[in-house]
């Protein structure tokens, strides 16, 4: 009997299942602890999802608009990272890349403009500084929408700007000409030095309809682009509109 228990294989034959069970238990415990530890750190925030891209010219504006109400009603501070766009909803965040140097800046849309054909965004002084736009004044840029603000139903209307004049009488003549063929038109004053009188035509519920109207107006006036009509912008500009209504 002693010979059976003294054999090396015989000595190991009983503890082996226990050792294996213990080892498996340890491995299982480690695996569980590792899984729990991996789940603790918060996931990094996702990269901003690009919803649309626009290419064109950017400009910037400061005085005399600094300290005055922007189209969304807040006071424009040219040292904040904000911008004006003709159709994007207020509160939309946009990344602007200067294509001449690849510098970028993220801005929030609070105003309407630019009201010059061929330009797609007007940056604040601070935003323009961030991408070296101050010196040249204009540059080719790429706009990437980072977050698109919700659009209240009352703000989901579009019109067409057919002209902008420092001479009010010229603006009135164009308004009268276009109103006969394309429906209601009005003058909107843009205070500045000099004051600019914008001729705005129509009120349609989709951007596609506004683009079609712009195409038809362009055949007669030679200059037309789509702008958004905003309830907040209308309230903010009410004194100007009341003074210029004919």
What is the residue-averaged pLDDT of the chain? 77
* pLDDT beyond 80 at 245: no
Q: Are residues 131 and 163 in the same domain?
A: no
Whether residue 90 lies inside any domain: the answer is yes
What residues make up the domain containing 214?
Answer: 153-244
Q: Are residues 120 and 164 in the same domain?
A: no
Q: What is the pLDDT of residue 76?
A: 95
For the chain, how many structural domains are there in total? Answer: 2
Q: What is the pLDDT of residue 52?
A: 84
Share of the chain above pLDDT 90, in %: 49
pLDDT in tens, 53-91: 999 999 999 988 899 889 888 999 999 999 999 999 999
pLDDT in tens, 199-208: 999 999 888 9
What average pLDDT score do residues 216-240 get?
A: 67
pLDDT in tens, 138-174: 999 999 999 998 877 766 889 999 988 999 999 999 9
DSSP state letters, 68-117: SB-TTSSBP-TTSSEEE-SSSPTT-EEEEEETTT--EEEEEEEE----ST
């Amino acid at each position: 009997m002693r010979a059976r228990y003294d054999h090396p294989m015989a000595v190991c034959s009983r503890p082996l299942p226990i050792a294996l069970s213990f080892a498996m238990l340890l491995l299982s415990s480690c695996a569980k602890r590792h899984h729990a530890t991996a789940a603790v750190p918060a996931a990094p925030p996702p990269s901003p999802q690009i919803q649309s891209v626009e290419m064109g010219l950017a400009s910037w504006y400061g005085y005399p608009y600094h300290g005055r109400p922007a189209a969304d009603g807040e006071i424009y501070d040219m040292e904040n990272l904000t911008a004006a766009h003709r159709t994007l909803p207020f509160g939309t965040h946009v990344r602007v890349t200067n294509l001449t140097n690849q510098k970028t800046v993220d801005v929030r849309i609070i105003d309407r403009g630019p009201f010059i054909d061929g330009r797609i965004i007007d940056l604040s002084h601070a935003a323009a500084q961030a991408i070296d736009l101050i010196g040249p004044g204009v540059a080719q840029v790429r706009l990437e929408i980072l977050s698109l603000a919700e659009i209240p139903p009352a703000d989901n209307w579009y019109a067409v700007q057919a002209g902008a004049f420092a001479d009010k009488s010229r603006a009135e003549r164009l308004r009268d000409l276009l109103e006969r063929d394309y429906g209601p038109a009005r003058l909107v004053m843009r205070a500045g030095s000099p004051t600019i009188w914008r001729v705005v035509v129509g009120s349609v519920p989709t951007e596609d309809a506004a683009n079609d109207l712009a195409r038809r107006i362009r055949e007669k006036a030679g200059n037309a682009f789509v702008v958004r009509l905003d309830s907040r912008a209308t309230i903010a500009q009410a004194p100007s509109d009341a003074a210029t209504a004919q």
